[in-house]
Amino acid sequence: MIIILFLIFVIGYFMRKSRVDNKFNSKDKKIHPYIIAKSKIKSLNNKNPKSQNEAGAFYSELSYIVREFIQNQFFIKTIEMTTNEIKHYKNMIGFDKNEINKIISVLERADLIKFAKLFPLENDIKIDLNVVDEFLDNQKIDL
């Protein structure tokens, strides 16, 4: 009797585990990180923040796109890192010095907008989008 209950438990465990594993093996993982990031940048191009809250949300998304791309493309855990940590370890990341400095500037501006409630100039928004877009184009590999 105990053996039968144990077997039912083990079978149920593996059936549940396979369902959970299938949830994480979604089609998104098969899409190249560059394509995902470019798609997200394209949708941001259509947004024009008019309030500080909209600007904060815009820059949160922009910052996340950059961090997610670097993490998924180069396996550097930038989503979990602060901007200061990225800045501190920038030489170890291995990007072009000028490019990583531009990206860090975008991330720092994003932090100011999100946390210090700074409102960006419309020109800054376009420049930051272009910086991220160029960075993505210069980093795409294995497409």
- Break the chain into its structural domains and give their ranges: 28-139
What's the pTM value of the predicted model, to 2 decimals? 0.76
pLDDT score at 28: 47
pLDDT in tens, 2-26: 777 666 766 767 777 665 554 445 4
Q: Name the one residue in this structure whose structure tokens are 């940590």.
A: 85
Residue type, 95: F
Chain centroid to CA 69: how far? 5
3-state secondary structure of 3: helix
40 or 142, higher pLDDT: 40
pLDDT score at 140: 74
pLDDT in tens, 65-123: 999 999 998 888 999 999 999 999 888 777 889 999 999 999 999 999 999 999 998 89
Residue type, 110: A
Q: What is the SS3 string spanning 73-91?
A: HHCCCCCCCCHHHHHHCHH
